[in-house]
Structure formats: structure tokens, C-alpha cells
Amino acid sequence: MKDCADFEALLASQKLGLLESKEELRVATHVRTCEECTRFARALGEALTAAVPDEAPVAEVWAKLSEQLGEHRDGAGAGAKAVGATGLRVTLACTFCHATTLPWDKVFCAGCLAPHHQECFEEHGSCSAPGCAERRFVRPELARAEPARRSLRGAAGVVFVLAAVGGAGGIAALALSGGPRTGAHPAVPPGSLEVPVGDAERPVKPRETPREPGAERPAVAPTATDDRQVFDLPPPALDDVPVTPSSTPPPPPSKSGSSREESRPGDSPSRPLEAPFVTHADLRALSSGAVQSSEVQADPIHEVRSVPAECLMEVHRASAGGGARLVSSTRMFGVWATNAFVASPDRRTVLVHGFGGFRLLREGREVAVRVQLLYPYVSWSPDSKRLAVWLGAGVAVVEVEDLFRRPETKFRITHRASQGRIGQGMTWAGPDDLLVLERRHEEGSRGESRLVLVRAAGSGYGQQTTLLETDERVEWFLPHRRSGRLEAVVYGTPRSVGAVDARAGSLGSIAFEVGEVRNVAISPTGTEVALLSNRGGTHVALLLHLGRSVAETLEILGSSSADGGLAFSRTGTHIAWSTLLRVGVRSVRDKDGGFVLTGRDLGYEKEIGNIAWNEDEKRLAVAVGERMLVLDVVTRRADVAAKVGVPGSIAAEPVWVGEEILFSVFTDAADRRKR
């Protein structure tokens, strides 16, 4: 078997004991018959084994540590107990990022001696102390010789030297039992540094250093030979320069007419499907050869590659009255896209996306787009004409028609996450605007988050507006649109649910202690938010009434409920939710006007999957085991619309198209051929 790429990530996950039983079985079955994957698994094992240190920690470390602790105790005064007894530790905080500086990573402004991480100084471009624009810094000599080893003693030396308050604009942080940092000014205690540093009273003026064009540019160039090292801040390196509009051609002028033709909430699909939705691709061709497609030139840092696969994403069309047919089979590019079936808002195009790319299917046409998606975020524009794709380094917006015409169309990066942050989600907020969530991703950070509105088309292309900036970790967000325009964004942190309006006006926190949110939906009216949440081990379905500041428990689901579906009806009058064991429906206003049904009530005692309301708000498509059911919420009677033969494989939310239901099934190509 040649097409093994799908199993690579699974094999790695297997080594880490992360696979579920189904996946284990699948991998085991494949590996038994595939020598190449057996070899690959061995290589993975070797890679992981390489992480086992081939040497033990040397005893010398303890000796040094003892010495250091001794020095520390001596510094704390004779008879001091272990460090906790005094609890006082004074360190210098970086003026720019406010994190503690370490001896080997500390520089001081040549003008005012404000401490910085070297990286922060360079990032800021000059001293970040208020009122100081010095572009040079000095570095303690210890950085030149045995930086790490000596640094530890240096750290110990600094520990108990009280920072003198005063000076011109640095910040010394007093970390007292983890307490808050102060805003005191620096702070270069005599004796705590191993070389004399500049005099704050006599600031060193920046020096212009002319450079020849094209001359090699050292990142940090020593410019003084006296008893301190002074460094000029270099111009930004090329890779620090935002690439967005400057390195790529500007987008074509806005097709303002067409881009504003988005449907309004409650509109019917633009037109019913007349022709076959997509062609039924040849299974044999799909499973034997490479998909015919040109590679898409993506972001330069992303590798473009073709990824053969063994799995299929099938799209079925089921009639509400019963009867179904397979309308498309698509090879998956990766194994992580088991629920990656996204229909365009006009229901004319289906996107199946995976770890290694995505495929577009529309009325007999297909195109495979291979692009490395580190984060499989793809979002349809409201007018169904454009796609926003997160390429890891940023968001690219592409005209869908261009992809059908010329799959080699280059992706343009419209927006890049800011330094130190990474994109965590993205969706269209309006006809021309994208809403992007960025989070700080370094270890030790709390996931400080930012919600940014980015102009992705038309005038002001590339401009961004920060809607929200918070120290907390934003874990999800939902745009609320009215008439296609962004009105507000509801977001969740581990602690609370908050909202912000489209003009970046905070609406404050809406709810607290909602627990770990597993799924969330906002009503079309924007006045209700439904949540499936794990609250201290108990899963619950919650309904928040934003306008009334009221939270209701829809259902207590118990301790072992899996993630489920949530859906508001078209006008937002009803909410439906599904979990592994049950499906519930009720009016958002009348807590007594609902019901909860189990699989047995529906006629099939199997796992309940995703749900979708029909436009008429009377019928609900419900995936149960290998069946797609239509549940009449008035009579509570369920009919089978389709049976696809593979239990538990119905993936992603079904989509109603008139009287038919589109849904996808993720299956193994070999299984499918057997069937």
C-alpha cells in the first residue's frame, strides 16, 4: 500500500498513547499489511527514543547548587532559614514586557539604564522607558564569558540587592512572594552588575551609522571599546517586516457590488439545487492515483506538498421523505479532518478540508487545493464568493472562482498574527471583514488574547481594528451579525463569558463560572447563547439570555457526556441540543415547552450525533448511528432519511438544502470498496 501519509500522524499519536480504540484498530490493521508504515513507525520510535538523555545529570550540579544556596543564605543574613522564611527576592523586570530578566539575557538602555531583555529592546526599536528614545543599550560583561554558568551566581548576587528607586525610566520589579510588580524606577544597584554601565545623568546620544546599501548588517554591532559594550540597534531584519501588503501585490479593487450581495439572516438559499450537486468521482481513480491538481503557492514558510490519502469523505444527499444517494467521494488529505465538511452559505459549494489541504466541489466541478494548514481554519464569506484560509502565519483570502479557474492562484496573506501571537480562530464578520483571534503562545504566558477585525477586501485592505485585548485566554468567540454586518462578538475565557461591540466597546462580562465550554452557539437574534459545558465534571447544557442577564440550565447531562451539537432555529425561537445519548428541543423563552428524547425514543438505540434545523423550524435532522433521521419536533416522530452503513461515521453538521439534507461520512477507502 503506497498511500500511507494519513497514518503518519496516527502512528505518532499511537506512540504517545493518544489513540482511541477505533483509531488503534485502524492503525493496527494498516500497519500489519504495510511495510513502509512499519518502517516509519520504527523511525518514529527512534526519534522519540532520541529524546532520552544518554547521560545522567552530573553530581557537580548539586555541588554548585549547594554553593549557590549557601551564598544565597549568607546574603539573607546569618541564621536565616530557607528562602521561604524571608520570601523576599528582588529582580529586575524588563521595561518592555515586564517579565523578569535573567543575567544572561539582560541589557540596559545606554541612556537611562532601564533594564530590558535584549530581544525586547530590539523588538521595540529603542528604549521603552517613557520619555527615553535611546537606541543603544549596554550589556553586562558576564554575557561575554560563560554566560549561563556565571549567570547563576550573578542571579544570586542580584537577588538580595534592593533596587534603588529613582533614575530615568526603568522598572525594577519587586517580586515578593509572587506579589505584583511595582512601577518603581531603576534600579542598577552598585555591585550587582559585573561591569560599570552608563551614567543616567549623562545619556549617550544615538549615533547615526551610515551603511552602504546591501552591506551585511550585523544584528548587534559593538560600537564602543571602553569599559562597557554599547550596541547600536540594527534596522529591522527583513523577516521582521510585515509582509502583508508590501510583499504581495495589492488585491484587485473591491468588487463592491458583488461582495455586498450576501444573504441576510433568514433568507432562503439563493437558489435551489437543480443540477446534480457535484459529480460522483470515480472511487478507483481516487484511491489509486494522485488527485489531479496544481499546487497552490502558499505562504513561503509553509511547505506545499501533495498528500495522498486512504480515507474518503463522502457527501450524501438524503431526502426528508426517505432515500439517499452518494453524490461525491473525496479523498482526504489528512487524518485530522474527520469533521471538516463545510457548505458555503449559498449551499452551492462544499469544502472538505484536512490537515494537508482542502477540496472544493461545485456543480460538477472539483478542485483540490494543497496547502499546509497547521490550523484547519477555513471560513466562507457571507456571499460565498471568497474563502479565508488560515495558513499558520496568517490569513489568506482567495476568490473561490479563481481557485476553480486557476488552482495555482497564489494566496495573499491579508493579515499576520502579531509578534509572539498565533492565530487561534478566524471567521468572516461582514462582507469585507474578518474577525481573527490571536493568542500569545509562549510557554508560561497565560494565553493573553486579542480579537482583531481585519479588512479583507475593498478600501482599507489590510487595516485592522482591535476589538478586544485581554490578559485572559479567549477560548472561543462568536460574531453576532445583523443584516450581514457585525454588531457584537461574544467570547469565552476559562473564567467567564464576555461581549464586545463592533466598535470595540466592551459590553463587559455576561456570565461567570460557566465551566469548560465544549460547544457554543449564538442565536440569530444575538440575544441568546447556548453552551455545552463541563462544570466540575458534570456536563450541562446552558442557555444564557444576554438581554436579560439570565442563565438557565437546559439539561444536566451527567458526568460522561461527550461533546454534542447545538443549533438555534432560523428565527432563534427554539434551541436544540444533542449529546451522545439524547437530543433536546425547547423554546428559548418557555422553559416548560420542550422535550428530551433518547436514541431509543427515536427508534435506534445508538449514538446521537450532529443536528440541524430545517428552515421551517419544525423539523430537525439528527444523525443517529449510521442513520440520518428527520425528527418532527411537533409530533416528536422520527423518520429515516438515509442509512449509510457505517455506524458512527457521519461527520460534521448536516445542512438542509430545501427538502434535502446534505451530510458527510468519513470512511476508510478500503472499507468503502468492500462495501
Partner 1 sequence: MPAVASGIEDKELIRRAREGGDDGDAAFRQLYERYVKDAWALLRALLRETARTEDALQETFFRVYLALDRVDADRPLRPWILQVARNVAIDSLRVEKKSARLARSRREEAGPAPDEDAMKGERAEAAREALAALPHEPRALLVARHVLSLSLAELAESWSVSERTVSERLREAAGLLAQAVAMRLGRSRS
Q: Using the minimum distance from each CB to partner 1, give the nearer residue, 13 or 414.
A: 13
Binding mask 252-291 for partner 1 (x = CB under 8 A): --------------------------------------x-
- Sequence-distant (≥ 6) Cβ neighbours of residue 160 within 8 angstroms: 72, 75, 76, 88, 89, 90
Quote the least distance from Cβ 541 to partner 1, whole Å. Answer: 18
Residues 352-391, interacting with partner 1 (CB under 8 A): 355
Q: Rounded CA gap, 342 and 349, in Å?
A: 9
Look-up of cell digits 431509543: 600
Q: Using the minimum distance from each CB to partner 1, give the nearer residue, 355 or 577.
A: 355
Per CB under 8 A, the list member of 75, 141, 152, 189 interacting with partner 1 is: 152
In 10 A of CB 16, how many CB atoms? Answer: 9
Per CB under 8 A, the list member of 90, 156, 522, 644 interacting with partner 1 is: 156
Residues 7-26, interacting with partner 1 (CB under 8 A): 8-9, 11-13, 15-18
Residues 221-250, interacting with partner 1 (CB under 8 A): 237, 239
Burial of 385 (0-12, 13-18, 19+ CB in 10 A): buried
Q: Could you tell me which stretch among 40-48, 256-264, 272-280, 501-509 binds partner 1 (CB under 8 A)?
A: 40-48
Q: Rounded CA gap, 54 and 541, in Å?
A: 50
Q: Using the minimum distance from each CB to partner 1, give the nearer residue, 302 or 606.
A: 302
Q: Using the minimum distance from each CB to partner 1, give the nearer residue, 265 or 308.
A: 308
DSSP per-residue letters across 354-393: ETTEEEEEETTEEEEEE---SS--EEE-TTSSEEEEE-SS
By CB under 8 A, residue 133 contacts partner 1: no
Residues 483-512, interacting with partner 1 (CB under 8 A): 494
User: Strands 88-92 and 172-176: what pairing?
Assistant: antiparallel
Quote the least distance from Cβ 42 to partner 1, whole Å. Answer: 8
Look-up of cell digits 440575544: 527
Quote the least distance from Cβ 297 to partner 1, whole Å. Answer: 17
Q: Rounded CA gap, 585 and 596, in Å?
A: 6
Q: Could you tell me which stretch among 79-87, 162-170, 254-262, 377-385 binds partner 1 (CB under 8 A)?
A: 79-87
Q: Rounded CA gap, 637 and 660, in Å?
A: 18
In 10 A of CB 543, how many CB atoms? Answer: 21
Per CB under 8 A, the list member of 38, 68, 126, 571 interacting with partner 1 is: 68
Q: Could you tell me which stretch among 39-47, 346-354, 502-510, 542-550 binds partner 1 (CB under 8 A)?
A: 39-47
Q: Rounded CA gap, 43 and 11, in Å?
A: 10
Q: Using the minimum distance from each CB to partner 1, give the nearer residue, 257 or 444.
A: 444
Q: What is the size of the binding site for partner 1 (CB under 8 A)?
A: 77
Per CB under 8 A, the list member of 196, 206, 242, 308 interacting with partner 1 is: 308
Within 13 Å, how many C-alpha atoms sit on residue 126's CB side? 14
- In contact, 22 and 13? CB cutoff 8 Å: no
Per CB under 8 A, the list member of 43, 165, 241, 301 interacting with partner 1 is: 43
Look-up of cell digits 492565530: 423
Q: Report CA dihedral (661, 666, 667, 673) to the nearest 10 degrees.
A: 50
Q: Using the minimum distance from each CB to partner 1, give the nearer residue, 82 or 133.
A: 82
By CB under 8 A, residue 595 contacts partner 1: no
Q: Could you tell me which stretch among 82-90, 190-198, 592-600, 616-624 binds partner 1 (CB under 8 A)?
A: 82-90
Strand order in the sheet with 421-428: 421-428, 433-440, 448-455, 464-473
Q: Using the minimum distance from each CB to partner 1, give the nearer residue, 282 or 303.
A: 303
